[in-house]
Amino acid sequence: MKIIVFALIALLTFSNCAEKNMSFTQSEIAILPKPANLNLQEGSFAILKNQLILANLEEQEKAAKALEIYINETANYTATIVDSNTATIRFEKKEDLETEAYELIVTPKNIRILANDAAGYFYGVQTIKQLMSLETSDDSKKSIYLIPSITIKDSPRFRWRAFMLDESRYFHGEKFVKQMLDQMALLKMNTFHWHLIDDAGWRVEIKKYPLLTEVGAFRSDSEIGTWKSGKTSGKPHGGFYTQEQIKDIVAYAAKRNIKIVPEFEMPGHSSAAIAAYTWLGTAGVDIEVPIKFGRLYDNYDVTKPEVITFIKDVLNELFELFPSEVIHIGGDEVGYEVWEKSASVQKYMKENNISTPADLQINFTNKISKYLEENNRRMMGWNEILGKNIHKDFGEKKNDKEAETTLAKNVIVHFWKGDLELLTDAAKNGYAIVNSLLSETYLDYNHKNITLERAYSFNPIPEGLDAKYHKNIYGLGCQMWSEWTPTNADVERQTFPRIAAYAEVGWTTPENKEYKSFKIALKKMQKHWDKLGINYFKDSDKIEAELKSKQNNLNN
């Protein structure tokens, strides 16, 4: 895919030509997400037609290669990585910088990218990409690629800056995933949460259990419109990734400093697997891959040794495909009725002194957490895994079926629903938290419910949480659930431009954020999306104006 140049700076001259330096204002510099500290000087650096790049450390290679490719493809120049002090673009080690931090020093004579790890160097390059501009001198009419003289010191607020793509409901494909990874990298997001397994489809090849994709990856029809619409598309849907494709995408992400966290839903949201292998379920009933979305009846029968073996077998293959330390196990929206009606499950619970289905779920979850830990991995799951009933909307009585068993402490709790007190209590109890509160971060919500400004205003650290627990808030995720977005263009419309707002939430400290400057930088980014043909939502300003007008009328 051709990389598009950002027109982000005003007319500048360069040191290699006999031109007069021209100054421009800091407002003309637009970088997303906003850097921690930026100091603009006069002049600029000109990219040479035979540009040399110094990189002599292993952790610099990924970033240097990305910059080399960008210059070659964008400017049609010949950039070369060398181990020579004659290079005018230089990657340098600075050992006191923290993880992912970088410094960028640009003068008319050279560019220095300083960092202490591969991520820091890579993010320095992403900033260079956003600063580089094709300019033409009024005097000579010559065109040149320029980068303003500038000093930037930058580092992220949070370690976890994620975008989630749901491909169980609709399969979106390798090309689209790589496009999303490209945009995430440019926005300095570092985690791609890949929802590949759910009721509506199993999207990853598992060699030991071929029916998971032969059967579980395809459904005969799809519910359309909205929940319980009674309408269907009348068309079959399916698709999955081979293990070779998965490996290729994981490698593609790694080059962009993105770790891919796969989600393997358990013990609920398991209909696609049960459709493939009936014995995995509790009800013992043959089913097809569901065409309706939502919370479904059957779960894995976690009291069967063969089911536990199946889950471990699948995890073993996922370990080979995904080097991520974290494996997401879902754990949300588990309906307990099927377990309550199963004589064998009730017998197992009685024999093992397990009092409620919620305790059975935590008992199972802790076993899987231990297995992950034995394989040098760490479990992550939606906040139901804490054993609290957050689904009063499903008709479950308050305090009914809540667990007494304690969730293993090494688990990352992915908070999405419920009273924020549950989140603060979990943080105080030492759990790591990723905050993805649905009312603030769900990209499937329409742009009136979660406006661009509301997305930008989200703070993953809840108000009132004592500062000593802030370290337990790892960051945030923004989630693109795809029940009602069957096409890639639909997903783009829901994701962009709000993904840029969440990127700045994850990177930039609250005191350094400003919505007005974000909107200016966003307009530059939108030109980039236009060139790529990304179908971003274009009426954010209109919606925000309408909502403010409505609020003013109510106030008056």
Architecture category of domain 160-552 in CATH = Alpha-Beta Barrel (3.20)
> Is there a contact between 370 and 386 (Cβ–Cβ < 8 Å)?
no
Sign of the dihedral defined by the CA atoms of residues 191, 197, 203, 207, in that order: positive
Per-residue pLDDT tens over the stretch 201-220: 999 999 999 999 999 999 99
Helix (H) or strand (E) holding 253: helix 243-254
DSSP, res 206: -
What number of CA atoms fall less than 13 Å from residue 70's CA on the CB side? Answer: 25
The answer to whether 476 and 525 are in contact (CB under 8 A) is no
- For residues 84 and 67, the answer to whether their CB atoms sit within 8 Å is no
Cα–Cα distance for residue pair 394/335, rounded to 1 Å: 9
DSSP string of 217-249, one letter each residue: TEES--B-SSTT---B-SS-EE--B-HHHHHHH
Measuring CA to CA, how many Å separate 330 from each of 195, 353, 380? Answer: 9, 25, 8
> Which residues lie across from 414 on neighbouring strands?
382, 434
- The neighbouring-strand residues paired with 111 are 89, 106
What pLDDT, on the 0 to 100 scale, is given for residue 399? 42
Q: Whole-structure pTM over 0.75, yes or no?
A: yes
72/161 Cα distance (integer angstroms): 29
310-355: pLDDT as tens digits: 999 999 999 999 999 999 999 999 999 999 999 999 999 999 999 9
Distance CA 63, CA 124 (A): 8
Alpha carbon separation from 350 to 260, 298, 346 (Å, rounded)? 39, 21, 6
Provide the pLDDT for residue 392. Answer: 74
Q: Is 114 helix (H, G, I), strand (E, B) or coil?
A: strand
Contact 138, 11 (CB under 8 A): yes
- Residue 455 contacts by C-beta under 8 Å, 6 or more apart in sequence? 440, 441, 478, 498, 501, 502, 505
What is the C-alpha to C-alpha distance for residues 58 and 52, in angstroms, rounded to an integer?
A: 17
DSSP assignment of 427-494, as one string? HHTT-EEEE--HHHHBTTS-TTTS-HHHHHH--SS-TT--GGGGGGEEEEEEEE--TT--SHHHHHHH
C-beta of residue 55 within 8 angstroms of C-beta of residue 88: no
Query: Can you give the residue ranges of every domain in the chain?
Result: 26-154, 160-552
pLDDT confidence of residue 138: 56
3-state helix, strand, coil in the chain (%, to 5): 35, 20, 45
Q: What pLDDT was estimated at residue 14? A: 34
| Cα 438 to Cα 441: distance, rounded to the nearest angstrom | 5
The series of mean pLDDT values per 10 residues for the chain, 556 residues long, is 34 34 62 97 93 97 96 93 95 98 97 98 97 74 86 98 98 98 98 98 98 98 94 97 98 98 98 98 97 94 98 98 98 96 98 97 98 98 95 59 91 96 97 98 98 98 96 98 98 98 98 96 96 96 89 78
Who contacts 359 (Cβ-Cβ below 8 Å, separation ≥6)?
349, 387, 403, 404, 405
Q: Tell me, which fold does domain 26-154 have in CATH?
A: Chitobiase; domain 2 (3.30.379)
How far apart are alpha carbons 68 and 357 in whole angstroms?
56
What local confidence, expressed as pLDDT, does residue 139 receive?
56
Tokens 């009725």 correspond to 337
Q: What is the largest CA-CA distance in the chain?
A: 88
Q: Check residue 184 and give its pLDDT.
A: 98
